[in-house]
Structure 1
Amino acid sequence: MSNRLAFLRRIAASGAVAAALLAPAAALLADAGPAVAQEKPQTGGTLNVIVQPEPPILVLGLNQQGPTQTVAGKIYEGLLRYDHALKPMPSLAESWEVSEDGLTYTFKLRDNVTWHDGKPFTAKDVVFTTTKFLPETHPRARANFSHVESVTAPDDHTVVFKLKQPFPAFIKAFEVSSAPMMPAHVYEGTDYKQNEKNATPIGTGPFKFDQWVKGSHIRLVKNENYYLEGKPYLDAISFRVIPDAASRALALETGEVDISQFNDVEPFDVPRLKALPHLDLTTKGYEFVAPLSWIEINHREAPLDNPKFRQALTYALDREFIRDKIWFGLGRVASGPVNSVTTGFEADKKTYEYDPEKAKALLDEIGLKPNGDGVRAEISFTPMPYGETWARLGEYIKQSWSKIGVKVNLESTDVAGWVQKVSNWDYDATNNFVYQYGDPSLGVARTYISDNIRKGVMFSNTMGYSNAKVDDLFAKAAVENDPAQRQQQLSEVQKILVEDMPVIWLLEMEFPTFVNKRVHNAVTTAIGTSENFADVWVDKKN
């Protein structure tokens, strides 16, 4: 804690730091109390972690899927990390400053960092990563760094980003999955995707690649030259590939594996595993991605294009039942497009309680009267093919909407078919969930802005929703440097969206992370088990 406090005092003392960063730093200083005595970490041992599905590659700059980050987050690092409140913390950058006008971000890099092959990590690697490698290979990073006018390195341990205009969300763009630092000496001047070193990834993290037995396991070993003295504590991490959900639950139950995360465990298995004496359950560690689930609706067909029809469908769903009986208590009922743990959340807005009678009244109002069979409208629903829980949700939606006279035809498909149908707008309704990445300008606006209606592209505005006022408010909030004014813009856009109901928000999802009680410090930041595990240790007495 002493190093972190010293760092925060340096930040708080800098007159060049943006006001948006001063307040969080001061709050952390005020909250810092006496150090709490902790059990001394033990060194050595191997940690066993589930990874599923098996990653296609371990180079995080080339692939940012969840399983890749689970493994590669221990190999690669970003400039910053983020605590559970999304406040930035040092990683490869030991300190940073933001100019008062929000246009200049200056990072001071640690001076004792080496790549796994022994070459020094310098500012050259940061410039290469953010101006050449990631803009070519990483869609999210490409968007984030499109706001940058120039990236320069005054010396080997200083990097300066000059923005074209203020972009307050930029401080959230440096987490390991958003901007993993890549070795310039390995990739510069090569075909990044075909580089022979992709088979043996080279990062700066606390663990190095050792072995990959396809279909079985991936083994990482301790980086003996890691820049934090005495870390990591573990000798190795073995990531176990276990395709079957029942087998994953059994592996946790028997102690064969120590950690699960994200969708490793089906929600209906959670109560049983939670009761086991050797396992701890936490839902922390997902604050940065802040997953939000919803029902997507194609606005290109009537009556789906009518906001009152979408409102009626919302009133017809008991979202507390969905949380408690389908997701077994995991999650919070969503109130709108911004997760309550994400920057910019607005609580004071219209909400939709479960009220089938109000739903019927809205359908009557727009002229959808029931026919002789009690049917007012007929639509198809394509459940997301990601396991039994999502299939159960589809059945519940069908039953619930039938009670207000909306007939639902369920259309099942595989993952490839689902992606093709949704991305090409060949659907009436489906369900999905997306990540928010700590700020509405990074992970929320993309779903609702008109210029992101892109046929063939998943996780864009596949609904075809368009509202010029929403476009304008998201655009203004993206570049607004005054935190109060920016919050006003974000609050206004949320109030508009809950009236238009472009999608039906269901849950602020909470994934269950199970950790064997012999494991310490598995979840310490806003990316949870995707962190680098430098601080993780195992009690070998258990």
Structure 2
Amino acid sequence: MTELHPSTPTAPSRRTTLRAAAGGTLLLGLGLTGCRSAVAEAEAPATGAAGPKRGGTLTVAVNTDFTPALLFAQSGQSLQHRLIYNTLTRYDDRLEPRPELATSWEYAPDGRALTLKLRTGVVFHDGRPFTADDVVFAVKNLQNPVRAAQLRSTAAAVTGFEKRGDHELTLRLAHPVNNLFDLFEFMIITDRNSVEDAVAGKRLNGTGPFRLASWRPGTGLSLTRNEKYWQPDRPHLDGVELRVIPQADALVSSLRTGQSQLSYAVPGRNLSTVTAVPELSVTQYDTGGGASYLGVNTSVDPLGDKTVRQALAWAVDRERVLSQVLGGYGLASATPWPKSSPAFTEAGRTHYRHDPGKARELLRSAGHTRLDLPLLHVNLPGETALAEAVQYDLKQIGVHVTLEPTDAATAQKRLISQTMPALWAMGHSFSQVQPSTLAVSAYPFNAAKNTSRFRSETYSRTVREAWTSRATGAEANALRQRVTDTLLDEAFIIDLVIRGSVQVASKKLHGATLNKFSYLNLDDAYLAA
């Protein structure tokens, strides 16, 4: 199978004033038969068809159910967010923000204020008009620690709001931050009057292209077309069904038989099966939206010793994980950065290679020849395969791990509450946007409070400098490199493989795209005859 790697777009330039032209976010995709952008995939009409046609219901196969309590946290069940809700802006494939509910924006010269012009004529599903008050609420909502939102630190940097009518808003910042548009891409605009009903799964009232018809726990979500959507003649589809199919064989079967027309949940080892189906297409979207990693709880003896953690980092065969677990889709890497990130370097990617001899030597130097440790993982086929690969490699250096399978919602809650066992194997996000976001937002990496219980004044200071800096060019690269060097040296999170989002879809489906946080966008999607 051909190994697919991300391309490297130009890093965004810093501007005092940002005026955005209308347009949508469409991410670069690589197909098995050659390079093809998601722009082409989204815009190309079906062969012999006049173009997009109205009607039809799309069935999306997912492997985890919607978890209302995690509505404001990035997780594996965030796929449906952009179907029900809009965001303020959305990135293109060069990390340049494009309009959504915000139509234009302007930074103050000192970087401590941003003025947004908001779209008019937008209503929530219940008919209430969208105004600046909804943006104020959205930011304050993410500032609330109860929401467990990864970008809470960035939201908390907003200390003041100045409204000029219903559709202009200035955000005042305590200090400059260079990832404010990451917040805007992440932050769904929810109804301030029914947010508690939303986190209870009773009512999801947004401005997005589809309305919630029903949620059947364990079965999935049913969505219907929003006839009041602010984009003219959108969406084309009449409805969307997100069907929960946790078993890999059953999920693949639903795609092969046409019961489902779209999925991003096919495990890597099953992708070769669907590539042989003529009615299906397989596309890797180069979002760099996730990475497989080995987490290490530094409060568990002897994992507080970074020499032991470095031994684990040298032990894992990343290329085998890429090949056997992910089916060749992705990039073996010791750092969290995809090639599209301005923080990516080849030296960082290859810093740790598969060297069990060196790993055993490091363990011996730390006074250990055998360790027995638990390893938590999500009980899904792809995540189990990852855990088994890590288990095998660690055993070769004398580290014997006992696998502890759990469900996705429980794993996410333990990640947030810092109650992980000694080791865990999961996936993380946030390396696909501004590099500073990872270390101030992602639970495994957060300098202030991370799942590994790793604390370092040096790390915290380095992260804050990288986050608040308005530097560009070589100075910005140097700040990013300091963060990367700390991550590699301390090895409290051991990155293994950068994962792209692999889309398996019926060839009748056109126009499905993902944003940088893997929210599914079906505004322009349609099913050809």
TM-score with structure 1 length normalisation?
0.80
1:521 partnered with 2:511: yes
Superposed, 1:143-542 pairs within 5 Å as: 143-175=153-185, 178-184=186-192, 186-187=193-194, 192-194=195-197, 199-261=202-264, 264-284=265-285, 286-287=287-288, 290-349=289-348, 351-368=351-368, 376-404=369-397, 406-415=398-407, 427-436=421-430, 438-446=433-441, 447-448=444-445, 451-452=448-449, 461-484=450-473, 485-523=475-513, 525-528=515-518, 530-540=519-529
Deviation by residue 1:419-453 (Cα, 9 ceiling, x = unmatched): 7877555633222222116133323345345531x
Query: How far did 1:128 drift?
Result: 2.6
Q: Matched residues in 1 for 2:175 and 2:406: separation?
A: 43
Larger-Rg structure: 1
Q: Matched residues in 1 for 2:365 and 2:215: separation?
A: 61
Query: How far did 1:254 drift?
Result: 0.3
Preserved contact between residue 247 and residue 381 of structure 2 (Cα < 8 Å): no
Cα distance change on mapping 1:130 and 1:389 into 2, 3 Å? closer
Q: Matched residues in 1 for 2:56 and 2:315: separation?
A: 52
Q: Matched residues in 2 for 1:118 and 1:164: separation?
A: 35
Deviation by residue 1:193-231 (Cα, 9 ceiling, x = unmatched): 258996342211112223445554533222222222221
Unaligned runs of at least 5 residues, structure 1: 1-10, 23-32, 369-375, 453-460
Q: Matched residues in 1 for 2:52 and 2:317: separation?
A: 46
Query: How far did 1:346 drift?
Result: 4.1
TM-score with structure 2 length normalisation?
0.82
SS of residue in 2 equivalent to 1:309: helix
SS of residue in 1 equivalent to 2:95: coil
Preserved contact between residue 70 and residue 199 of structure 2 (Cα < 8 Å): no
More helix by share: 1
Which among 58, 79, 82 is matched to residue 70 of structure 1?
79
Which among 89, 114, 124 is matched to residue 115 of structure 1?
124
* Cα RMSD after superposing both structures: 3.4
Q: Give the AA of the match of 2:131.
A: T
SS of residue in 1 equivalent to 2:292: strand
Compare 70-79 and 162-171 and name the one that shifted more.
70-79
Q: Matched residues in 1 for 2:410 and 2:521: separation?
A: 35
Deviation by residue 1:26-52 (Cα, 9 ceiling, x = unmatched): xxxxxxx99x98532222222111234
Q: Matched residues in 2 for 1:37 and 1:236: separation?
A: 20
Preserved contact between residue 418 and residue 452 of structure 2 (Cα < 8 Å): no
Cα distance change on mapping 1:320 and 1:52 into 2, 3 Å? closer
Cα distance change on mapping 1:501 and 1:212 into 2, 3 Å? closer
Query: How far did 1:364 drift?
Result: 4.4
Query: How far did 1:285 drift?
Result: 6.1
Query: How far did 1:499 drift?
Result: 2.3
Preserved contact between residue 55 and residue 236 of structure 2 (Cα < 8 Å): yes
- The number of aligned residues is 488
Preserved contact between residue 57 and residue 239 of structure 2 (Cα < 8 Å): yes
Cα distance change on mapping 1:333 and 1:445 into 2, 3 Å? farther
Q: Matched residues in 1 for 2:365 and 2:493: separation?
A: 20
Query: How far did 1:534 drift?
Result: 0.9
Deviation by residue 1:447-466 (Cα, 9 ceiling, x = unmatched): 345531xxxxxxxx232323
Cα distance change on mapping 1:478 and 1:16 into 2, 3 Å? closer
Cα distance change on mapping 1:357 and 1:213 into 2, 3 Å? closer
Q: Matched residues in 1 for 2:333 and 2:389: separation?
A: 18
Preserved contact between residue 85 and residue 188 of structure 2 (Cα < 8 Å): yes
Q: Give the AA of the match of 1:181.
A: I
Cα distance change on mapping 1:299 and 1:72 into 2, 3 Å? closer
Query: How far did 1:343 drift?
Result: 4.7
SS of residue in 1 equivalent to 2:335: coil
More strand by share: 2
Identity of aligned residues (%): 25
Cα distance change on mapping 1:499 and 1:522 into 2, 3 Å? same
Which among 66, 83, 101 is matched to residue 92 of structure 2?
83
SS of residue in 1 equivalent to 2:115: strand
Preserved contact between residue 433 and residue 516 of structure 2 (Cα < 8 Å): no
Preserved contact between residue 60 and residue 72 of structure 1 (Cα < 8 Å): no
Preserved contact between residue 91 and residue 516 of structure 2 (Cα < 8 Å): yes
Q: Matched residues in 2 for 1:197 and 1:363: separation?
A: 47
Cα distance change on mapping 1:394 and 1:118 into 2, 3 Å? closer
Q: Matched residues in 2 for 1:196 and 1:364: separation?
A: 49
